[in-house]
Chain A
């Protein structure tokens, strides 16, 4: 990539039991995807405090991905469901702040879905790249 070319900064917060394991499986299977996402592991997406999302955007993230288990497969019964409801609300908050709501994405990737994880990352990187730098970053510039 050329020097100085804008690269999206994307944070992923992923659950230990499904999505993190799915991402590991993508690795074992050597499924290639773009290297633009940095992941933080939590035990369950239920742990994802809206504060984390706001902090990430305030710090200059161009996109945030939250990924958990499929509904019904949560290791803690329904933490993913509770997170999904919060993320739904967060999208409207982001919109109010003038941040495109598809910069925040919640996905469900199981421990057996390595290929899907790669696809999710590709999609997220493409979406955020197409959107360009976060409006907050543009303000700072």
Chain B
């Protein structure tokens, strides 16, 4: 509960900094289900952060995210933009002495963040591109010309050359309402 100070600056300065019970006790289980790894076994040794290429150049601490998973601190985890600084190099996963996959905990949290409509735009654009072309990085004219020069067909043997495969791909993505949600989040972001 707010303290009722008439100065909002003071209210903010002295806001409650305890953490209490978990925001969402199911959060740990959800993360473990999606990430297929036992986050709750973490003993906070920091091997993950020590292995992380993003840690020395940012405030991203993967150990803290694992801690948030363990304690069910859902909001703190999903709204922290550092969540998107994991390069998924899996060094932490290889070295974790508890056999946990911290990388997959991050991936699970990103999946859950998507459900909260929190996803950086580049991720959503990749989805749109894959939906419409089958490729996250589609062909272009410069490349087509180069391909022909090399003796390759202008379009590779993929959905580019065989667009009849696209409806199947779209059906799979539609099953999960992936494109629909990506479009919505992107358009809302534009307002």
Direct A–B touching, Cβ under 8 Å: no
